[in-house]
Amino acid sequence: MSIFKRIKKTRTCLPVNSPGLFFLWLAAAMVSCTAQKKGAVASGETVSDGEVGAAHLPYAIAPISAPFPMQQLKRPVFPAYSVNIRAAGARTGTKITGLIQQAIDEVSRKGGGTVVVPKGNWLTGRIVLKSHVNLHLEEGAVLYFSGAIEDYRPAVFTRIEGVEVMSLGACIYANGQENIAVTGKGKLVGPDSSGTVRKQIMTTMDIAAFAPYTLPVSKRVYEGYNGAPVLPPMFISPINCREVLIEGVTLENTAFWNIVPIYCDGVIIRGVTVHSVGIPRGDGIDIESSRNVLIEYCTLSTGDDCFTIKAGRGADGLRVNRPSENIVVRNCLAIEGHGGITCGSETAGMIRNLYVTNCVFENTRTAIRFKTRRPRGGGGEYLYYNGIHIKNARYVFEWDMLGSAQHVGALAGRLPLKKADKLTPVYRNITARNISVDRATQLVKATALPESPLKNVRIEQIDAKTDRLFDAADVDGFTVRNAVLEARDPLIRALDSRDILFEHVLFKVPGNKVIPQISGPKAMPILFKDCDPPGPGQMQQGKKR
């Protein structure tokens, strides 16, 4: 049987990290097959950008399937009562912060409903959402946010880069609310670059040094009086909220991360468009220590990572100890960014049960990215990727657990060997299937920690065209199965790594020969099984040829 036939025959192979996970994944696959018969975008096959992103947002939220138990999230429902801010006295050309806040407070006080921002250009400071209120921007409505620090005072409780602080919060902020929404076809524009918000952003040191863990959170107050540095406001950031919907809106010119639910439960983000290319730290969507999250049909072009999962930083994140878990990202489009889908680098509370499916990632530095650092703690596990189409990336898969000296000093050095402690992060139990790569510089770049190797990674059903294949350090358990790998460089490099297996792989490389380069005192030979061309010492049915 040719390798092409073997790959096709094994195309329905399922990842088996445990018997329970096998049956959960099987149930998800069965749901996907049913969806395909009904004409929906089916999970399990790579998609094109003609099927994903905000331009293809349906009204209905389809049932959610995942390889782990996942809550069926539903769109929040709001009473019919509504207030149009123009009818309430708002006028374009003037700042309407007080008036729009009064409308939100009134609607919430009366049991809920919708605050409507009609067509027109409107200027506001920070808006605070309240329970049972839908802030709805009609098509043609543009809400500009002030660039003046005084329009974001007093300081509010939030989390910046994984550290709890009292700061400017977010342009649209909520704390401890439920059943809230930002919807519509309107546009949000972030603080003007000439204002004090951007001019006073702290850029000179790491957040952990600026807001020390040893200070009580109530003392970590940064409001920018007398020209003092501030921590930048996020764009939309609910914290400690339940039943959150963000749908349809477009975000531009953020001062920092765009959409950032923190400590939330039950979040739906759909049909959102983000433009932040050229803005440092201009992440698209960051899920921070939140659970039961659905992200679908979003289109992101960003100045940093596009879709990002985080869970707190270092000692402060361990103190809070709240994971990000039960998250589904589907039918999304990343047009440009540092990472298409990224875990970390803030990982203290753990990132687990993430399912990314039917997405297209274009022009990203890394398509599927994993970051952490020695002092960050936590890590990621039970992370699943399925049906991803990648176009023009530097790395298809990248794990970076060391970071740079700029952020962690000497801890960025691989050696000398460090002793594992409570701040030592892990990445393990990761499965990717049905991956199509049109063009990338390298398939896998894995830099783990000697004291905390990357463990149990499976990449299956992948067809990739890259310059280079595989470069790994400190990996323990990595399988590439049922693959067609076309590369200009036949080298497969592994430093102090073990249990690396290529099985049912067609290598299209110069000289028709793969060349392993194995080094390090803990290294073990790379295994090849039923590959074409045969790898050195290739196994067949458990025996060496």
Residue whose pair of structure tokens reads 């790395």 in the numeric block: 395
What pLDDT, on the 0 to 100 scale, is given for residue 48? 75
Nearest to 68 by CA among 479, 495, 439, 356: 356
What pLDDT, on the 0 to 100 scale, is given for residue 42? 40
DSSP tag of 410? G
What pLDDT, on the 0 to 100 scale, is given for residue 45? 61
What pLDDT, on the 0 to 100 scale, is given for residue 46? 67
Residues near 315 by beta carbon (within 8 Å), at least 6 away in sequence: 213, 377, 423
Q: What is the pLDDT of residues 287-306, one digit of tens each?
A: 999 999 999 999 999 999 99
**Distance of alpha carbon 40 from alpha carbon 63, whole angstroms:** 11
State both tokens at 54.
């905000």
What pLDDT, on the 0 to 100 scale, is given for residue 364? 97
pTM across the whole model: 0.92
Nearest to 124 by CA among 170, 171, 85: 171
State both tokens at 233.
């406001």
Q: What is the pLDDT of residues 147-206, one digit of tens each?
A: 999 999 999 999 999 999 999 999 999 999 999 999 999 999 999 989 999 999 999 999
What average pLDDT does this structure show over 319-325? Answer: 98
Tell me the percentage of the chain whose pLDDT exceeds 90.
86
Residues near 265 by beta carbon (within 8 Å), at least 6 away in sequence: 241, 242, 290, 291, 292
**Distance of alpha carbon 335 from alpha carbon 312, whole angstroms:** 27
pLDDT of 10 above 50 = no
Q: CA-CA distances (angstroms) from residue 420 to 362, 375, 425?
A: 37, 10, 9
DSSP tag of 474? S
Which of 7-11, 85-89, 407-411 has the highest average model confidence (pLDDT)? 85-89
Would you list the domain boundaries of the chain? 1-59+305-545
pLDDT of 11 above 60 = no
pLDDT of 28 above 90 = no
Report residue 411's pLDDT band, with 50, 70 and 90 as the boundaries.
Answer: confident
Nearest to 474 by CA among 410, 536, 519, 422: 519
* Residue 415: alpha-carbon gap to chain centroid: 30
Residues near 485 by beta carbon (within 8 Å), at least 6 away in sequence: 443, 462, 464, 466, 469, 505, 506, 507, 508, 509
What average pLDDT does this structure show over 73-98? Answer: 96
pLDDT of 313 above 60 = yes
Q: What is the pLDDT of residues 480-500, one digit of tens each?
A: 999 999 999 999 999 999 999
For 260, list phi and psi in degrees, rounded to 5. Answer: -140, 85
pLDDT of 36 above 60 = no
Report residue 541's pLDDT band, with 50, 70 and 90 as the boundaries.
Answer: low
pLDDT of 22 above 70 = no
pLDDT of 1 above 60 = no
Averaged confidence pLDDT in the chain: 91
Amino acid of residue 493: R
**DSSP string of 324-355?**
EEEEEEES-EEEEEEEEEEE-S--TT-EEEEE
Q: Is 339 exposed, middle or buried (0-12, 13-18, 19+ CB in 10 A)?
A: buried
What pLDDT, on the 0 to 100 scale, is given for residue 5? 44
Report residue 216's pLDDT band, with 50, 70 and 90 as the boundaries.
Answer: very high
Half-sphere exposure of 127 (CA within 13 A, CB side): 32
CB 132 within 8 A of CB 121: no
Report residue 49's pLDDT band, with 50, 70 and 90 as the boundaries.
Answer: confident
CB 437 within 8 A of CB 483: no
Q: What is the pLDDT of residues 524-538, one digit of tens each?
A: 999 999 999 999 988
* 86-94: long-range pairs with CB below 8 Å, 24+: 86/118, 86/120, 90/122, 92/120, 92/121, 92/122, 93/123, 94/123
CB 402 within 8 A of CB 428: no
